[in-house]
Chains A and B, each alone.
Chain A
């Protein structure tokens, strides 16, 4: 079953939509409460998020650190711009590979959809250099690690 839709919007954005069988409040909380984020925003099997800082308030900081359990890892930092419980999150984030990638401005919305939630995430397309760095990293360390990096880049805070 394909629940996820992903499409480009205009020339600068990617829009991702996904339905969840839970109320907007629950889906929203899963994006801002560290103990919940650490259960799912992990990428491939075997990876963990030992550090998860999420100050869910305007200007609040985001810092996620991932580990492959074998000494490998990377991290993401960001800041919240706007939060409207339980319907909207605006934040900026960047990956550190270890050089920081250009800021990615992300708007995530949570709308009631029957008994569930329609989540929509609108993110900036990475530039060529960022994408090339990620693809290169993926080839060096295996595609799965690259998936994690991509996930990190777009993951909603």
Chain B
């Protein structure tokens, strides 16, 4: 099962982000991915394994090849979660603004009293 920590680890590497960017254009084989990155195929395969383990890409078998493609759900679910988090926090903090305004009003009243 994809793991969110693993997803972010996978995304932390610039080469893996570049591979994902390439896969956003469409399916590609290891050989096709290795060329623009000037990497050996085993090196690319290692990156692909990290991406696959994180649930960010999907691979299928086609003869001796194992073409890769993006697993858009994995990336989208992270964005979805962050969007929900933002909305939840925004609602509570907007309410907290009101609570703080009430506390401030009381404090000012007390201070004015103290000065007299």
Contact = CB atoms under 8 A, between A and B. Distances in A.
Interface of A: 3-4, 6, 8, 10-12, 14, 16, 18, 20-22, 26-27, 29-30, 36, 39-44, 125-129, 131-132, 134-135, 138, 143, 146-148, 150-151, 154-155
Q: Is the interface of B mostly helix, strand, loop or mixed?
A: helix
B42 to A, nearest CB: 24
Given A6-B82, A11-B11, A40-B95, A128 B4 contact: yes
Given A4-B93, A22-B104, A151-B89, A127 B4 contact: yes
A12 B5 CA distance: 6
B61 interface: no
Question: Which 8 pairs show the lowest CB-CB distances between chains A and B?
Answer: A11-B8, A151-B88, A22-B100, A40-B95, A147-B88, A40-B96, A11-B9, A150-B88
Given A8-B8, A26-B104, 10 more contacts: A4-B90, A10-B8, A11-B5, A20-B96, A22-B104, A41-B92, A43-B91, A150-B84, A151-B89, A155-B92
B92 A151 contact: yes
